[in-house]
Structure 1
Amino acid sequence: MIFNVTLGIFFFLSLLFDMICMGKLLGVKRQLQNMTDALNDMEAGNGNRRILAVDNELTADFSYKINEIVTRYEERISELRAADETNRQLMTSLSHDVRTPLTTLIGYLEAVHRGVATGKEREDYLKIVRRKAHDLKDYIDLLFDWFKLNSGEFSLSIERVELAELTRNILKDWIPIFEENHLNYEIEIPERALLAKVDLDGYARILNNLVQNVIAHSRATQIKIEMVQNEKEIEIHIADNGIGIEKADLPHIFKRLYKCDKGRSDKGSGLGLSIVGQMAEKMEGRINVRSEPNQYTVFTVCFPVKK
């Protein structure tokens, strides 16, 4: 009798086990089918589709991992699309910003060459040609810097330098340009040594781009460049009393191809400040800006103190 009861319990448990296993197998089969459907949907282009799973399901970890991979893939696709759009905008800008001054140069040179412009007019034409040629060179230099920064081959030669003397040497070449543009200038740089680790050429480009930005876009009558050191950082302030920057534009001005003044689309490439921001970051520095429209703009570049 006991044997029969034991045998019955054994058969019952075996049947129950088989039912559980069958249920689990059916559950796994359903989960795998759901995963296949989701993956087919993703392959068809639905990047927002995800595989649904419950923590206690056998395939949960697998599902979560696939979702994680798909999310990273979609983020990468989004980055590539944004880069493609940026490159398209850049090529459009390049076409306009290079073709327009070249057409102007050719026009003025043709007038001089054919003798249409003579005397003082000829001299004025040649001055315009010279200025346009320098503008074009500046733009090509910016393009070169931007492509270098965004290539995998870009590298900096970081070294410990005396930043005060380096800054003085860079700014002395700007003094004749300030005077030529009737721009009152004030430069305050400490006499004592200020040490930081920077790339010499990269630092010069940051400073030159910021000063050029004041001359080209601010309509300022005064520029002040000041260098100070606090406990942790060396700060370089470039301030002007020009037209300023609207508050809505301030968060975006270091983005590539961003132009604050849409009404002056023929002015600037939208690359200069982007290059400044990237250069500072690559040298472990940072840059910020504050401005009040029609009153002032102050760019501040900071580098860690190296003792």
Structure 2
Amino acid sequence: MRKQLKFALWPALVVIALVGVLSIFYTGPKYTGKTWFETEDFNWQLESIYEDVSVNVLNRIDPEEAKEKLIVTQQEIDDYRFQYGTLAEQLDNIERQYRTRIAEAKENKNETLLLALVKERDNKLEDIQENFNNDEYVERKIRKEKERQLTGYLELQKENYSRGFAVAYDFVDTETGERFTKGDVSDPAAFKKVYNEVNGYFRADSLPDGANYNTQTMEYASDDHIVLSEENLQQVKNPVRKLSGTLIISKAALAGGELQQRVHDFNLQKILLYSFWILTVLAIIALLTVVKFKKDWVIGTKEAVKYSRLKIDLRIVLLLLSAAILFVYLQSVAFNLPHELYPYSLGRYASNIMIFTIFGYLPAGFTAFQFVSLTETLKQSRDVEALMKDSYAAGLLRNVNELFSNRTIGVQLFSLLIIFFLAGIGFVGMFFAPELAVIYAFCVVFVALPALFLFVRRGAYLNRILSATDAMAAGHLTQEIPVKGKSPLAKHARNLNNLRDGVRISTNEQAKSERLKTELITNVSHDLRTPLTSIITYTDLLKDETLSAEERAKYVAVLDQKSQRLKTLIEDLFEVSKMASGNLELVKQHVDLNQLMQQAFAEHAEDFSDANLDVRISLPEVPVYALVDGQKLWRVLDNLLINALKYSLPGTRVYVSLQKTANQARFTMKNIAKYEIGGNTDELFERFKRGDESRQTEGSGLGLAIAQSIVELHGGRMDVEVDGDLFKVTIDIAVG
């Protein structure tokens, strides 16, 4: 609890100390050891007194003489004459102004009003015509108005003079010897100044220096086109007079009135300022002793833990913001401290306390709290770079970088942002400068509206793409996203369509894979169970001791046949698995494919003859060498020949050929199938898949799968084509 009280008191003491120290530099030189007569405020008041005395007494302009000096130029005459347009335009304007009113007077039969309106109209028409016919007529009117304005201006100077401080002076014109006195300059003086050759003469001007003449005389102008200008006043001013003498403000003048109040206010402000400096010293002593800041006021508190969860850049921004608010407040208060301390009213004090709390006390406490928390975080952090990467600024930079990763989208979005931002500025600026409305309308029609149209169109297209994407995510893959133009969105739509096609193909392949997997399990179970059932059956039969030797030998032969069948099936299955996993090693050598084919067909020549199949072989006359594993490639040819023996229609021909191109050899085998082949030839390469769905032939159903795997391991390609009952296998192998 004691820590909390100290931390609550600390910001107030810090603000008081800082304001006091700064005020010593800002306001100390203006108040320390000074009287009100040494302040800038008094000097400004004195200059005003000098000016008023000069204009109204020492070098007063004579109104009658000044009027004689006024000049009316031809330009002023022309400006006055054409201020409402040409002669015809002005006459027509007067006629229109009175036409309705004269008509109403006639209709109401008001003769008195009618005569007055007609006379008034005719006088104005006559005046306008005279303006255009007689320069002297116009000059007299302008001069009369200028004289009236000059008189008003001089009266204004007298009025200002009557409101000044009471001063006494005794001046003598150094050239004419004319003497000007007011009061007694020998009276005890609160302020005194002597003018002579040594100290400098008093220079009395008939016009105030730097006065805004037009502003002062506008209230006397009856016509906007006739204004007593600075140039007119320069025409009537008197030469500057040099005077010697003395000017004082007597001590008696301090006994009452505005002067007494100003001196009293200054002295009170000085006392309050000295008092505040004493408070500043006490605050500094307290800050160095009993209320000395300690980090444990902040570290470990619930507020510090919550604050530490903010990202590092946000914490830095908040720290700088609170410090900036505090700095501005300190500068403002320290510069105006005497006026802030002056006892205007309780409401003013309440307002100052509220401002002190909001802009001084709270920012000081929050700045200290943030600084300690931030420095502690940086000390304890082992990876400051990670903190910076996790900041909002780093995230923004990453997002900007990703935005411009597709430069077209980035540039378009940035351009739209700039266009709409400038459109908003232009809309506001149009109210301050209506003449820019035409330019703004042009920019809106030809820049902002096309950009808005583009933005809306792209937004609608993006929504259509998102809707189609949602449909794809829900599994609806039939609807194609429309591709419009060559924009990045169109490219994205095209990619989504490609993805849709890929997903659809993948889905079909997955369904096919599931179906083939089911068939594989069924076929494996069937092909393994058939010989295994026979083995179990004949094993049980051999247990009969009454069997004859001939029957026993017959059963053993069946067992041997079924065991070999089971062994072959398992070996083929393991071989396909090894090929699929890539664990099968190839021993490559340069092999003559021509000779390899001849050996393979020689092995099965008798089988083809027994199957009543006529084999037609077409081989090149020269050797065809390829870097292959001869044993494995022989297995491919053997499997294909066995496949042809099993599935070819008896009495038909089997065509086999080997051709060599520039860099590859092509093996082709065609035969007529004795069973109907399904339309999907890709499934013939699947394990345990047979061309005869009735499964009446012997074999593992792995022949084509093994052959394709071996060919692919050699970097070749194996294709199967079916045209009705024509079955064709093509193998391409690289040669060299």
TM-score by length of 1: 0.72
State the structure with bigger RCO (CA 8 A, min sep 6), 1 or 2.
Answer: 1
Are residue 205 (structure 1) and residue 635 (structure 2) matched? yes
Letter in 2 for 1:260: G
Q: 1:41 aligns with which of 468, 471, 477?
A: 471
When structure 1 is superposed on structure 2, of 129-138 and 26-35 the one drifting more is 26-35
Alpha-carbon distance, 1:169 to partner: 6.8
Instruction: Tell me how far apart the structure 1 counterparts of residues 722 and 588 of structure 2 sit (CA, whole Å).
Output: 28
Structure 2 vs 1, CA of residues 13 and 268 (structure 1 numbering), >3 Å: closer, same or farther? farther
Check conservation: 2:647, 2:675, Cα contact below 8 A: no
Superposition RMSD in Å: 4.4
Q: Identify the match of residue 21 of structure 1 among 433, 447, 451.
A: 451
CA 1:25/1:273 → structure 2, altered by over 3 Å: closer, same or farther? same
Q: How far apart, in 1, do the equivalents of 2:722 and 2:452 lie?
A: 68
Alignment equivalent of 2:706, drawn from 267, 270, 275: 275
Q: For the structure 1 residues 214 and 38, does the alpha-carbon distance in structure 2 shift closer, same or farther, using more than 3 Å as the test? A: closer
Distance in 2 (CA, whole Å) between partners of 1:78 and 1:149 is 25
Instruction: Describe the SS at the equivalent of 1:268.
Output: coil
Deviation at 1:102, TM superposition (A): 0.6
The DSSP-based 3-state class of the residue aligned with 2:685 is coil
CA–CA distance in structure 1, aligned partners of residues 509 and 623 of structure 2: 43
Larger Rg over CA atoms:
2
Comparing 16-25 with 231-240, which one deviates more in the overlay? Answer: 231-240
The structure 2 residue matched to 1:122, chosen from 544, 552, 569, is 552
Matched, 1:98 2:534: no
1:12 equivalent to 2:474? Answer no
Determine if the alignment matches structure 1 residue 30 to structure 2 residue 30: no
Query: Measured at CA, do residues 25 and 116 of structure 1 come closer, stay the same or move farther in structure 2, by a change above 3 Å?
Result: farther
Q: Deviation of residue 69 (structure 1)?
A: 2.7
Alignment correspondent of 1:67? 497
Q: Is the 8 A contact 2:624 2:660 kept in 1?
A: no
Residue 289 (structure 1) shift: 7.9
Conserved 8 A contact 1:239-1:298: yes
Could you tell me which residue of structure 1 aligns to residue 538 of structure 2?
108
SS state of the match for residue 160, structure 1? strand
Assess, with a 3 A threshold, how the Cα gap between structure 1 residues 147 and 77 changes in structure 2: closer, same or farther: farther
> Higher helix share goes to which structure?
2
Deviates more, 1:115-124 or 1:243-252: 243-252
* Cα shift readout 1:73-114 (whole Å, capped 9, x = no counterpart): 332333233223222211111111111211111111121134
Q: Which residue of 1 aligns with 2:148?
A: none
Q: Is the 8 A contact 2:665 2:732 kept in 1?
A: yes
Tell me the secondary structure at the aligned position of residue 51 of structure 1: coil
| Corresponding position of 1:264 | 695
Letter of the structure 1 residue corresponding to residue 692 of structure 2: D
SS at match of 1:23: helix
Change (3 A) 1:112 1:298: farther
- 2:259 match: none
Segment drifting more, 127-136 vs 43-52 = 43-52
Q: Corresponding residue for 2:509?
A: 79
Amino acid aligned to 1:29: G
- AA of the residue aligned to 2:694: G
Contact 1:287 1:300 in 2 (8 A): yes
Which of 95-104 and 207-216 deviates more?
Answer: 207-216
Offset at 1:41?
1.2
Output the amino acid matched with 1:273: L
Letter in 1 for 2:693: K
- Structure 1 residue 63: deviation in Å? 1.9
Q: 1:154 to 1:75 in 2, by over 3 A?
A: farther
- Distance in 2, matches of 1:193 and 1:136, equals 39
The AA in structure 2 aligned to 1:112 is L
Of Structure 1 and Structure 2, the greater strand share is in 1
Matched, 1:88 2:500: no
Please, which moves more after superposition, 267-276 or 184-193?
Answer: 184-193
Residue aligning to 2:576: 146
8 Å Cα contact 2:580-2:709 kept in structure 1:
no
State the one-letter code of the partner of 2:576.
W
Deviation sequence 1:165-217 (CA, Å, 0-9, x none): 65677678x57x958x9679999999985422222342122123134335555
Residues 161, 196 of structure 1: 8 Å contact kept: yes
Letter in 2 for 1:118: S
Give the Cα separation in 2 of the matches to 1:223 and 1:130.
Answer: 34
The answer to whether the 8 Å contact 1:164/1:193 transfers is yes
Contact persistence 2:591–2:628 (CA under 8 A): yes
Q: Equivalent residue of 2:511, what SS?
A: helix
Cα shift readout 1:27-73 (whole Å, capped 9, x = no counterpart):
23322222222222111111233332311556222222222233223
CA distance in 2, matches of 1:291, 1:65: 36
Q: C-alpha displacement at 1:130, in angstroms?
A: 1.2
**Structure 2: runs of 5+ lacking an equivalent:** 1-432
User: CA 1:282/1:9 → structure 2, altered by over 3 Å: closer, same or farther?
Assistant: farther
Alpha-carbon shift at residue 137 of structure 1 (Å): 2.1
Q: 1:161 aligns with which of 588, 591, 596?
A: 591
- Is the 2:668–2:731 contact (alpha carbons within 8 Å) kept by the matching residues of 1? yes
Paired amino acid for 2:535: L
Structure 1 residues 201-255: Cα deviation after superposition (integer angstroms, max 9, x where no partner): 4212212313433555558699999886666676768799xx8445755983843
Change (3 A) 1:226 1:37: closer
Is the alpha carbon distance of 1:132 and 1:187 closer, same or farther for their aligned partners in structure 2, counting shifts above 3 Å?
farther
SS in 2 for 1:264: coil
Which deviates the most, 207-216 or 85-94?
A: 207-216
* Percent of matched pairs sharing the same residue: 22
